[in-house]
Structure formats: C-alpha cells, structure tokens
Structure 1
Amino acid sequence: MKNITANELEQTLEQNPTTQLIDVRETDEYAAGHIKQAKNLPLSELTERTHELEATRPLHVICLSGGRSMNASMYLEQAGFDVTNVDGGMMSWQGDITE
C-alpha cells in the first residue's frame, strides 16, 4: 500500500485539482471541516458504496489521523484500486478546509 503525507497530498491537489480523494470519516466529522475536493464516503459505508468510486483513476484516502484510511486503503487495494493512504490524516492537514 502506498502512503503520502498530508503535505504531499496538498501538493498533489495543487498540481491536479481533480485528484480522486475520499474522506472516510463519519458524516458529522466531515461536515465539521474537510478538504474541498474530498468526497465523503464513511468507512462504515465503504463496502456498500465502493461502486461510486472511479476504478480507472488513482484514489487517495484520508481520515482524521490515518487509521481508518489505512483500513479503507487495504480494502480498496484488494478490490483492485490504485490507492494511496494519507498518513496523519486531517490532523496533519495544513491547507484550507471547507465546512
């Protein structure tokens, strides 16, 4: 499984604003503040909603600290996705957030 830091993710999003990014925190956590490009797909719903993701494009996964996104990344990698986990999650994110 690939990993990047929150700073590396910020650089990736600056270079390619259409990067596929999912935030696997619960809906209330996401609503309190998230990265603009992130789609909310809570870990608790991931298996039922995997079909919503574009399997042909690389996928970045973020959560609060990196634990849930690591679990989601392992699942998605086994499902055939090109996935990268964001180490440190939103706790390490220094960029803008949207509510």
Structure 2
Amino acid sequence: MMAYPTITMAYLDMWLERGENMQVIDLRNRESYMQGHFYGAINIPFEELEERIKELPVNKILIFYCSRGSKSMLACNRLSRSGYQVVNVANGFHLYRGKYTATGL
C-alpha cells in the first residue's frame, strides 16, 4: 500500500488555483524543464535528488512530477519513508494541457 497520494494533472491544476501550501518539483532533466514546466516548479533532476534533498522544504506538501510518472513515483516512495509529505502526479508532464505552464527561467 502506498504511503502517499497520487493525483491527476487536473487535480494539480485545482491545487495551483487555490494556492495550496506546496512546492512542485520537476524531476526531469534541465533541458526538458526549460522547454516547459509547471509554473512555480523547481527543477531537481531525479538523478540529483539524493544530493539535493536539503533543498526540499519540510513545511510544505511536495508535489513530484516527471516525464511519464515512474521517477516521481520512485521519489515519493523514498521521501515518504523519510517522513516528507509527498504527492505523486500520475502519468507525467507529457500529458499536461493546462494553463499553469511556464518556459525558461
């Protein structure tokens, strides 16, 4: 059984609209992030997550997404066991067609 919720892109849109106390983390590589990402998302590539874990706020819900959903699930598994409040975004950014996207920095 998972120790964290998995939400859809549409549900994340609702959270962004309401201004929930969260930090969205994009686990894709820098090039993919620069091409487009959720507004307000920080880029921590999955391969760098362990070494950059101290950059994650402990007082916010951490919303993880990647390209297709597998790396964000792995990140949530790891961090939920360490006590972080995490949420996985199902299916990844490649399916997102909402209004909360940004490009560049």
TM-score higher than 0.5 here? yes
> Given the alignment, which residue of 27, 32, 37 partners 1:29?
32
How many residues are matched?
Answer: 99
Residues 10-56 of structure 1: CA deviation (Å, up to 9, x unaligned) = 11000016631100001111111111111001100000001001112
Mapped contact 2:21–2:60 kept (Cα < 8 A): no
Q: After the TM superposition, which segments of 4 or more aligned residues of structure 1 sit over 6 Å from their partners?
A: none
Aligned residue for 2:38, secondary structure, equals: coil
Q: Does structure 1 residue 71 correspond to structure 2 residue 71?
A: no
Percent pairwise identity: 34
Structure with a larger share of its residues in helix: 1
Distance in 1 (alpha carbons) for counterparts of 2:32 and 2:70: 15
Aligned residue for 2:88, secondary structure, equals: strand
Aligned residue for 1:22, secondary structure, equals: strand
Question: 2:58: which partner in 1?
Answer: 55
Question: 2:83: which partner in 1?
Answer: 80
Structure 2: 5+ residue stretches without partners: none
How far off its partner does 1:2 sit? 1.1
Distance in 1 (alpha carbons) for counterparts of 2:87 and 2:20: 16
